[in-house]
Structure 1
Amino acid sequence: VDTPGTNSIIRHHQRITENYIHQSELILFVTSTDRPFSESERRFLELIKGRWDRKVLFILNKADLKSAPELAEITEFLEKNIYKTLDFEPRIFHVSAKLALAGKREGKSAWIEESGIGEIERFLFHTLDQSDRLYLKLVSPLKVAHKLESDLIHDLEEQLASLNEQIRDLEEQSATIRRRSREMEAFFSKYLAEIETVMFRFEKRILDFLDRAMTLSHLVQIRGNVKEIEKEFKEEVIGKANTMEAIEEIINDAIDYVIRNNKELWEEAVLTLARYQEDRPETVRRLPQLHEMASDKNEIFRTLRDSTDKSLRKFDVSEERERLREEITQSLKQLVTLEGVALGAGIAVILSTIAFVDISGILLGSLAAISGFFVIPQRRRKAKRDVEAKIERIEDELQDILSRHLQRTLSRLNEEIERRLEDARRKCDTRRDLVLERKGELEALLKANRNLIHRLESLTVS
């Protein structure tokens, strides 16, 4: 194979030459006295050494254009640089291609001999014996295969390292999700404690009202009109306490906390999955034998990318917040008769209805049971005990509803994230198993190839 294109400005010429190298048994590397061992020729020889490990003969053309001292100087220059590049002492033939061509055309054998072509022909057809030719025919391609197999194994090892890193990332992300979830669950107690504080103050306000309203002097003042007591309770306790608005604010804060942190967890998971879109196209170009595996990998990344993109679009903060709020609202409505709540009522209205219906019921029942002024203190004490029990029940139900729905929302998201991470982990495991299988096959081929090379080399030596 001549070296067309190694100095050509048309890069396609050089690619043609490089693509033929691995098919050759012996390389005749042609350079010239006017530009011996150019930079592109040096790179070309490094390609031969690094990838194909081919036997090379060197031909110095245009030898007739230089004097004997000049030719000796050029030859020494070539020998030093070739040894530096290929780590062996080269055999260099001096030729004049122009003189050889003229000799062929004119039938002048003396010219052909003088051109140096004859010496090359004698070396190729007579000096190289049968063992040399056997070596070139069999061992050279086996060494090429050996080099390819080694390169493939190296690239598979890089893929294994990358897959192991991806699996560790997925495991760390799952652990992070679980840790953050536990932290969020622990933080829920803050909102439950705030509800307890608000309800405690509400209870104290009711008890203070009972101490003032259920007295002999006050009942005389309103002439025992229980409707007036109910009106006062609604205005002074339910209306002015702002208790239910405070609880609604706590619930809204809790909803915002959960949704905001859920979004952060979701985005962290999406970023972890999105990292697997990366690929190494240069590896695919270098290793056509891995085309099927590369396609599988690309398909995995494409699936993950598409699913994560859709998931990220699906997580709408406003939508998630309203859904959780509506779930809590519907649960609260179950604590009071439907007739007592207007259609579309908010959380504060529902809570006020619950408090008014339950607490005023206790109050009115106690007042209705008063048969004489002497039993007022007794009825007031009973009413206060009933109020305390009712407030405790409402508080427990509020905390249970809030805690249950916050936990359900968090669990729902965690399950979705874990499902996607596990799916990605499963795909990585499958691909790792495939890479390990291919690596084992290549290592077996490499060992068999190495043994065959040793046997053939021993035959050629003997």
Structure 2
Amino acid sequence: METPSQKRQSIVLGIKSLLIQEKKFLVSNRGEEKDLTLLDNQLIQLDDLFLVVVAGEFNSGKSAFINALLGDAVLDTGVTPTTADVTILRYGEEKQTSRTEKGQLVVNLPNRLLEDLSIVDTPGTNAILREHEELTTDFIPRSDLVLFVTSLDRPFTESERKFLESIRDWGKKIVIIINKTDIAENSQDLDKVKAFVTDNAQKLLGVVPKIFAISAREALRVKRESGKSPAQFSEVEDYIFHTLDTKNRFQLKLLNPLGISDNLTQKYMEINAAQRTLIQDDIQLISDIQQQISLFREDMVRSYNFRYADIDNSILEFEKRGLEFFDNTFRINRVMDLLNKERIKNEFNKNVVKNLSKDIDEKVSGSIEWLVEEDLKQWQIVTQKISQRASKHQDRILSDPNSQQINLERQKIISNINRQAQRVVEEYDQEVEASNIAEEAQMAVAASAAVEVGAIGLGTLITLLATTASADLTGILLAGLTATLGFFILPAKKKQTKNAFSENIASLREKLSKALMNEFAHQIDIQIENIQSTIQPYTRFIRAEDESISKAADTLKELSRNVESYRNKINDL
């Protein structure tokens, strides 16, 4: 079973690990440098003494209060801003002054009150020099306890209100000191100021902080004369050095980095939510485009099936004319005509083949032109959607650098894709596209029928294949047969030829349908692939960012849960 000391040490190590995890998160998610520095300071601060920061307006008596606390005039006081630096008071065997790398003044004093804690004096919240105020604001997150000094003659000023608002979200333990009670004309005036400060502090902080009313100047005088503190000031000292005993100080010290971690986690949760909002429209656009492409393919395939029915009808009409031709030609009274090979061939071309080549060419060309037009329309739709997205939010003001960076990268990619898509539309040559598709279709049909195409067109090729499918009509010669035998042979030959013709036409229709359907589907897929290739960088970027944002959200939730878990452990000590 762990001893209290082991539990405390375990919690310290756990909080350090938590801070390191948050730092890693900020590094990998382009966190602000000042937040990384803040976490580094917290890691250092965990191994340092309890840190008390004294803040307030200049001339509120901050330095005088610290002098009274230490029982000696170690800091300058006056009616002008005398504290121009962040001054850290630490224990030392002898008085010594130095500066840190960041310019903070460090004063070592042989004062026993500093053996268990360090005290920080800060420039006024209403400092004339802005850098002084920034020094104070940046140092506050490192504190374990904030003693906020306001004066009886100017209680809870606007600058004090703003300052407390700025540190409220850090989750600091705040104690309010009302200084200069010696100038109060009567106790009623003092009570009014106390009530005013209490009411405003509760409204601002959400809780009523510990409030003390003292006269720092009088406390230092009494201490020097008698060696003891006056009653009012003793209450402050008792709170700092006795009520906040080792256990309470330890709890406050550990709650401090948790407050920092929680504040940063909430900050980056808000940033994460803003990033998700920014990227959500892009995700929706990609979804819309993908849905549009999917519907485009379905509609094109369905529409082509209807269009191919016209081509197929031409073949069926050809078959019908062929069967009628056989019925009219294979007759006993036309035996002599059948012996004239050239005549039968001409009749077949005239009555059966007719304008089959032209008819098919027109219908196939119509289908190809339709395909090309629909392709161009699809490019125009995608271009329009991307153009709209490119113009949307481009002037949007984003508060955090991370979202700004995502927006800049996103705008750059969208602009590039927009230019590519517009160039495709502008340079789209419908005649060339149609010619290429027609050539591909001709090759597909020829390959399926295993014939040489040469320089002939698709309609002529199909006519050639259809004519060949009629079998060798002119090869049916009746030379050497008697008229009597003709009565028996012709019907059989006619039936045989008609069956063979129908079977061959059926085979042709199947091969033609499959070849053209495959080719058209292939052309549609090529068009879709070209669109997909163009928008791929945009899609890849958005999906990667969405995944990164989702992972970041999960990490932030986990950090928040861990902060709450350690808070509970600290409260249970």
Common fold, TM-score beyond 0.5? yes
213, 217, 221: which one pairs with 1:93?
Answer: 213
Partner of 2:176: 57
Q: 2-11 or 244-253, which moves further after superposition?
A: 2-11
Partner of 2:472: 365
Secondary structure of 1:139's partner?
helix
Partner of 1:248: 365
Deviation at 1:37?
2.7
Tell me if the contact between 1:53 and 1:144 (Cα under 8 Å) persists in the aligned partners: yes
Partner of 1:203: 319
* Paired residue type of 1:20: F
Partner of 2:56: 2
TM-score normalised by the chain length of structure 2: 0.52
1:251 & 1:385 partners in 2: Cα distance?
A: 33
Secondary structure of 2:142's partner?
coil
Partner of 1:391: 505
In the alignment, does 2:243 pair up with 1:128?
no
2:349 & 2:383 partners in 1: Cα distance?
A: 50
Secondary structure of 2:168's partner?
helix
Deviation at 1:366?
1.1
1:91 & 1:7 partners in 2: Cα distance?
A: 22
1:410-421 matched pairs, under 5 angstroms: 413=528
Partner of 1:328: 441
1:35 & 1:205 partners in 2: Cα distance?
A: 111
In the alignment, does 2:198 pair up with 1:79?
yes
Percent identity between the two aligned chains? 16
1:36 & 1:219 partners in 2: Cα distance?
A: 130
Tell me if the contact between 1:57 and 1:92 (Cα under 8 Å) persists in the aligned partners: yes
Secondary structure of 1:51's partner?
coil
In the alignment, does 2:468 pair up with 1:354?
no
2:221 & 2:474 partners in 1: Cα distance?
A: 139
> Aligned in 2, Cα 1:185/1:236: closer, same or farther, shift over 3 Å?
closer
* Paired residue type of 1:247: V
138, 156, 161: which one pairs with 2:250?
Answer: 138
Tell me if the contact between 2:307 and 2:367 (Cα under 8 Å) persists in the aligned partners: yes
Q: 48-57 or 2-11, which moves further after superposition?
A: 2-11
2:478 & 2:258 partners in 1: Cα distance?
A: 108
2:328 & 2:127 partners in 1: Cα distance?
A: 107
Partner of 1:290: none
Partner of 1:447: 565
Query: Which structure is higher in helix share?
Result: 1
Deviation at 1:262?
9.0
Tell me if the contact between 1:153 and 1:442 (Cα under 8 Å) persists in the aligned partners: yes
Partner of 1:401: 515
Deviation at 1:407?
4.1
CA shift digits 1:7-35 (9 cap, x unpaired): 57986654433222122233333445665
Tell me if the contact between 2:470 and 2:504 (Cα under 8 Å) persists in the aligned partners: no
Partner of 1:46: 165
* Paired residue type of 1:250: S
* Paired residue type of 1:93: A
1:162-181 matched pairs, under 5 angstroms: 180=295
Segments of 5+ residues of structure 1 without an aligned counterpart are: 286-293, 456-462
* Paired residue type of 1:139: Q
Q: 21-30 or 6-15, which moves further after superposition?
A: 6-15
Secondary structure of 2:213's partner?
strand
> Aligned in 2, Cα 1:148/1:89: closer, same or farther, shift over 3 Å?
closer
* Paired residue type of 2:366: E
2:304 & 2:354 partners in 1: Cα distance?
A: 32
> Aligned in 2, Cα 1:225/1:341: closer, same or farther, shift over 3 Å?
same
> Aligned in 2, Cα 1:20/1:230: closer, same or farther, shift over 3 Å?
same
1:219 & 1:264 partners in 2: Cα distance?
A: 66
Secondary structure of 1:59's partner?
strand
Secondary structure of 1:370's partner?
coil
Tell me if the contact between 1:266 and 1:417 (Cα under 8 Å) persists in the aligned partners: no
> Aligned in 2, Cα 1:68/1:152: closer, same or farther, shift over 3 Å?
closer
1:450 & 1:47 partners in 2: Cα distance?
A: 26
> Aligned in 2, Cα 1:448/1:366: closer, same or farther, shift over 3 Å?
same
Tell me if the contact between 2:325 and 2:348 (Cα under 8 Å) persists in the aligned partners: no
> Aligned in 2, Cα 1:93/1:430: closer, same or farther, shift over 3 Å?
closer
Tell me if the contact between 1:146 and 1:450 (Cα under 8 Å) persists in the aligned partners: no
* Paired residue type of 1:2: G
Secondary structure of 1:91's partner?
strand
- Number of residues paired by the alignment? 418
> Aligned in 2, Cα 1:49/1:119: closer, same or farther, shift over 3 Å?
farther
Tell me if the contact between 2:471 and 2:500 (Cα under 8 Å) persists in the aligned partners: no
> Aligned in 2, Cα 1:360/1:448: closer, same or farther, shift over 3 Å?
closer
1:134-283 matched pairs, under 5 angstroms: 134=246, 137-151=249-263, 180=295, 189-207=305-323, 225-226=342-343, 228-229=346-347, 232=350, 236-238=354-356, 242-254=359-371
In the alignment, does 2:136 pair up with 1:17?
yes
1:191 & 1:233 partners in 2: Cα distance?
A: 26
**Higher RCO (CA 8 Å, separation ≥ 6 residues):** 1
Query: Which structure is higher in strand share?
Result: 2
2:522 & 2:386 partners in 1: Cα distance?
A: 19
TM-score normalised by the chain length of structure 1: 0.62
1:205 & 1:10 partners in 2: Cα distance?
A: 103
Secondary structure of 1:128's partner?
helix
Secondary structure of 2:204's partner?
helix
1:144 & 1:352 partners in 2: Cα distance?
A: 88
1:225 & 1:128 partners in 2: Cα distance?
A: 124
> Aligned in 2, Cα 1:251/1:266: closer, same or farther, shift over 3 Å?
same
CA shift digits 1:415-451 (9 cap, x unpaired): 9969978997788668756764675466446424532
Deviation at 1:400?
0.6
CA RMSD of aligned residues (A): 6.0
Segments of 5+ residues of structure 2 without an aligned counterpart are: 1-54, 58-122
1:358 & 1:122 partners in 2: Cα distance?
A: 114
Tell me if the contact between 1:60 and 1:93 (Cα under 8 Å) persists in the aligned partners: yes
1:398 & 1:331 partners in 2: Cα distance?
A: 9
1:9 & 1:331 partners in 2: Cα distance?
A: 85
Q: 422-431 or 78-87, which moves further after superposition?
A: 422-431
Tell me if the contact between 2:56 and 2:125 (Cα under 8 Å) persists in the aligned partners: no
CA shift digits 1:223-277 (9 cap, x unpaired): 86447447636983336x62331133234435655786699799999999xx9x9
1:427 & 1:72 partners in 2: Cα distance?
A: 58
> Aligned in 2, Cα 1:358/1:382: closer, same or farther, shift over 3 Å?
farther
